[in-house]
C-alpha cells in the first residue's frame, strides 16, 4: 500500500452534536476510565536492585535527561483551540470522520443527519509556542486557517482570545497575538546547525493531551515532500500525532529548531515519520508578518528536478549535485537572465546547492527586486549568471518534478513529427512525439504521447534528427521530455 501523507490539521476536528452531550473533539470519547474498570491490587515490595550509573549525554549510547528542557520550556508551549462553521455535504451520508474511522457509525447514528448544505459548528485543537514575552505566538497555518475564533490556553490555565496577525500557506506558518505581558518565551536555535542523529524533543497537545513531551532523533534534513512545498523539512522519529501541529521541536540546548507540521502515516497516527519546518524559515515569516502583515519571497520562474547519478554523467558533472532546470517560464526572471533547460544551478550568491530541494527555500529568502549571482553548469563547464529576483505570487518559486526511473539498453522508441497544433501548444519548433516505447525508453519512464524536445541539450527537429542524435551520443544521454504542461529530463543509458 502506498503510504498516505496526512497533514496534522487541527488535532481532532469534531462537529458539535445537536443532541444533549456534544460529541467530543477527541476520538477518545468512547474510552472508559481505566481505573474504574479494575479493583486495586496489593502493592508488592520491590526487589532490591543495584543503583544505575548516572547517564550523561556525552557518553556513547546514553539517553539524555530532558526533564530540565521540559520544565524550562513547557510554560511557553500553548494549546490552541479553534472554532468555526462548516457546510455539510450535499450527499445523504454526512460525517466529519472518514468512513473507516471507528467512530464513524457511532457519530452518524447518534447525532442524526443535518440537512444537506446546512452550517454546523466545527471545533479543533493544535499547538503553538510563545516567541516573545508580549504574546506573539507561532503555530501552523493549517491549524488556524478558516477559524472564526482562536483561543490560546496557557499551562497556568489562563485563556486568551487570539488575533491571527497573518498566515502563510506556502510555508504553513501562522503568527498569533494575545494581549498579555511578561509571558515565558522559547529560545530560538538553528536548524542549519543541527546534525542528523542528534536528540530532539517535541512538546504539544496530541489528541488534546496538553503539554505532552516526546523525544527522538533527527532522521534527515532538507527533506522534500510530495506536496510540492518549498520547505526543506527536518525529518525526525519523534512521536508526533494530531494535535502536535504547530508545536515546537527542541534541541538538547533547549532551543527551538523547528515547528512540527506533518506526518507520514497509513493509520492517521504516528508511525515513525514526522516532519518539522526549520525555525530559520519560520522566523523569517514571523518577522515579515509582524512588520508588513504579509510575506514577500523571491522567485526565478523555473521548474527543477533532482540531479541523480545518470543525469550527472549525462551532463558531465563529477558527482550528483545542484538543481537541474527542466523548464524556464517564458518572460520570467530566469528567462530574462538567459537560463535554459539543461542548466544545473550549483550555487546562489556563493551558497552551494547540494540538492534540488535546497534551491526553492534559498530563492524564497531573496528579496524581490534584488540581484543574485548563480553559478550554473552548462555544456560541460561552469559559468556565472546574474539574475534579478522576481516576486513570488503564490506561484512556483522553483517547482520540482519527479526524477525518472532507472534506465538501460538502447533508446527503443517509435516517434512521429508534431502536428502544427501540437507544436503551437508546446511552443517548440520540431520535436518528436513518442508513439511506442520499449527497452531502455520504457525502463526510463517514457510514455506514448511524450514529446522529446532535446537530447543532451541539442534541440530535436524531427524523428529522423532524433535518430541521428542518438546514434552520435555517448554512453548516456539526457532527454528533455514534455508531458502535459511539465518538462523533465530523463536519463537514458544507450550502452
d(CA 321, CA 309): 9
Gap between the Cα atoms of 419 and 84, Å rounded: 53
3-state secondary structure of 411: coil
C-alpha cell at 350: 556563493
Expressed in angstroms, the distance from the first to the final Cα of the chain is 35
Cell matching residue 218: 533527527
Phi, psi (degrees; rounded to nearest 5) at 256: -80, 125
8 A C-beta contact, residue 199 and residue 182: no
Q: Is the distance from CB of 155 to CB of 115 less than 8 angstroms?
A: no
Closest CA to 386 of 377, 375, 397, 378: 375
| Helix ranges, 39-118 (H) | 67-73, 104-111
* Residue 320 and residue 339 in contact, taking contact as beta carbons nearer than 8 Å: no
Q: Is 373 helix (H, G, I), strand (E, B) or coil?
A: strand
- Active-site residue set: 142, 172, 245
Question: Is 487:474 a contact under the CB 8 Å cutoff?
Answer: no
Q: Strand pairing partners for 493?
A: 476
For residue 254, count other CB atoms closer than 10 A to its CB: 17
DSSP code, position 315: H
Q: Can you tell me the distance from the alpha carbon of 437 to that of 446, in angstroms, rounded to the nearest whole number?
A: 7
Distance CA 265, CA 179 (A): 37
Amino acid at each position: 500500500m502506498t503510504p498516505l501523507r496526512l497533514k496534522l490539521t487541527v488535532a481532532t476536528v469534531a462537529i458539535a452534536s445537536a443532541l444533549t452531550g456534544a460529541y467530543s473533539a477527541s476520538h477518545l470519547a468512547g474510552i472508559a476510565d481505566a481505573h474504574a474498570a479494575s479493583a486495586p491490587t496489593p502493592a508488592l515490595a520491590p526487589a532490591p536492585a543495584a543503583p544505575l550509573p548516572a547517564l550523561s549525554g556525552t557518553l556513547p549510547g546514553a539517553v539524555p535527561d530532558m526533564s530540565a528542557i521540559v520544565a524550562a520550556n513547557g510554560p511557553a508551549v500553548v494549546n490552541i483551540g479553534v472554532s468555526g462553521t462548516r457546510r455539510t455535504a450535499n450527499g445523504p451520508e454526512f460525517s466529519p470522520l472518514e468512513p473507516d474511522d471507528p467512530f464513524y457509525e457511532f457519530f452518524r447514528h447518534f447525532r442524526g443527519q443535518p440537512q444537506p448544505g446546512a452550517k454546523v459548528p466545527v471545533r479543533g485543537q493544535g499547538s503553538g509556542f510563545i516567541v516573545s514575552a508580549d504574546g506573539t505566538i507561532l503555530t501552523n497555518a493549517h491549524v488556524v486557517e478558516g477559524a472564526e475564533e482562536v483561543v490560546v490556553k496557557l499551562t497556568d490555565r489562563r485563556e486568551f482570545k487570539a488575533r491571527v496577525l497573518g498566515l502563510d500557506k506556502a510555508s504553513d506558518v501562522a503568527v498569533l497575538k494575545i494581549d498579555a505581558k511578561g509571558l515565558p518565551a522559547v529560545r530560538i536555535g538553528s536548524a542549519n546547525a543541527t546534525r542528523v542523529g542528534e536528540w530532539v524533543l517535541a512538546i504539544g497537545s496530541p489528541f488534546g493531551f496538553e503539554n505532552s513531551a516526546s523525544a527522538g532523533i533527527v532522521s534527515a534534513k532538507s527533506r522534500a515532500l510530495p506536496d510540492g512545498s518549498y520547505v526543506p523539512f527536518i525529518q525526525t522519529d519523534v512521536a508526533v500525532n494530531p494535535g502536535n501541529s504547530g508545536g515546537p521541536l527542541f534541541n538538547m540546548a533547549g532551543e527551538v529548531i523547528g515547528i512540527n507540521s506533518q506526518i507520514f502515516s497509513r493509520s492517521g497516527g504516528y508511525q515513525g515519520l514526522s516532519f518539522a519546518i526549520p525555525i530559520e524559515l519560520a522566523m523569517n515569516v514571523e518577522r515579515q508578518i509582524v512588520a508588513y502583515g504579509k510575506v514577500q519571497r523571491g522567485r526565478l520562474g523555473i521548474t527543477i528536478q533532482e540531479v541523480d547519478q545518470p543525469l550527472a554523467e549525462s551532463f558531465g558533472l563529477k558527482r550528483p549535485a545542484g538543481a537541474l532546470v527542466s523548464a524556464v517560464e517564458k518572460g520570467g526572471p530566469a528567462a530574462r537572465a538567459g537560463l535554459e533547460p539543461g542548466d544545473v544551478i550549483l550555487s546562489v550568491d556563493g551558497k552551494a546547492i547540494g540538492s534540488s530541494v535546497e534551491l526553492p527555500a534559498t530563492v524564497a529568502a531573496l528579496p524581490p527586486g534584488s540581484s543574485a549571482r548563480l553559478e550554473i553548469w552548462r555544456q560541460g563547464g561552469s559559468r556565472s549568471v546574474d539574475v534579478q529576483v522576481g516576486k513570488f505570487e503564490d506561484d512556483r518559486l522553483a517547482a520540482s518534478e519527479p526524477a525518472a526511473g532507472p534506465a538501460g539498453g538502447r533508446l527503443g522508441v517509435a516517434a512521429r513529427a508534431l502536428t502544427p497544433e501540437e507544436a503551437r501548444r508546446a511552443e517548440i519548433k520540431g520535436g518528436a512525439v513518442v508513439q511506442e516505447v520499449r527497452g531502455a525508453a520504457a525502463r526510463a519512464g517514457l510514455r506514448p504521447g511524450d514529446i522529446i524536445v532535446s537530447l543532451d541539450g541539442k534541440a530535436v527537429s524531427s524523428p529522423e534528427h532524433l535518430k541521428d542524435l542518438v546514434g552520435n551520443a555517448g554512453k548516456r544521454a539526457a532527454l528533455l521530455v514534455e508531458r502535459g504542461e511539465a518538462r523533465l529530463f530523463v536519463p537514458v543509458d544507450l550502452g
